[in-house]
A and B are shown apart, each in its own frame.
Chain A
Amino acid sequence: MSLLEVRKLSHRFADGTFGLRDVSLSVESGELIVLAGRNGSGKTILMKHLNGLLTPSAGEVMVAGSPVSRNLLAARQAVGLVFQDPDNQIVGQTVRDDVSFGPENLRLSADEIERRTRTAIEGVGLEELVEHQPHLLSGGEKRRLVIADVLAMQPTIVILDEPFSGLDYPGTKRALTEILRLHEHGHTLIVITHEVEKILAHATRLIIMEEGRIVEDGSPESLIDHLERYGVRPPNLDGRGLSGVTWLSS
Chain B
Amino acid sequence: MAQLVAFHYQPGDSVLHRLDVRIELPLFLLMVAVTLRCAPLGLSFLTLLSVVTLVSAHLPLRRIAREFRLFVFLLALMFVARAFGSSEPAGGETTWLSRAAFVPAAMLVWRLALLVLLGTLFAATARAAHLQSAVAWYLKPFHFLPGGRIATMVGLTISLIPLIFDSYQEISDAQNARCVHGFRRPARRLRQLVVPLMLKTFGRADSLAAAMESRCYNDARTFAPLHVHASDWATAIGGVAVAAVALLLDLLV
Contact = CB atoms under 8 A, between A and B. Distances in A.
- Interface size range of chain B in the complex: 20 to 34
A53 B206 CA distance: 12
A113 interface: yes
- Interface size range of chain A in the complex: 35 or more
A133 B2 CA distance: 9
A75 to B, nearest CB: 9
Given A87-B163, A133-B8, A77 B216 contact: yes
B220 A107 contact: yes
Contacts of B215: 76, 89, 101-102, 105, 149-150, 153
Contacts, number: 101
Contacts of B158: 93
Contact of A131 (B11, B163, B211, B220): B11
B251 interface: no
A91 B221 contact: no
Contacts of A92: 128-129, 159
A89 B211 contact: yes
A104 B222 contact: yes
Contacts of B155: 91, 93
B212 A97 contact: no
A89 B207 contact: yes
B63 to A, nearest CB: 13
Contacts of B61: none
Contacts of B8: 93, 133
Contact of A88 (B211, B223, B224): B211
A94 B214 CA distance: 20
Contacts of A107: 220-222
A51 B210 CA distance: 11
A136 interface: yes
Nearest to B127: A93
Interface string A131-168: 10101100000000000011001000000000000000
Interface string A39-74: 000000000100101000000000000000000010
Interface in B177-207: 204, 207
B216 A88 contact: no
B214 A76 contact: yes
Contacts of A83: 207, 210-211, 214
B210 to A, nearest CB: 6
Interface of B: 2-3, 8-9, 11, 127-129, 155-156, 158-159, 162-163, 166, 204, 207-208, 210-218, 220-225
6 contacts: A73-B218, A76-B215, A92-B129, A94-B129, A105-B215, A110-B222
Given A91-B155, A153-B215, 11 more contacts: A76-B214, A85-B207, A90-B159, A91-B156, A93-B129, A97-B128, A103-B222, A104-B222, A108-B222, A131-B11, A135-B2
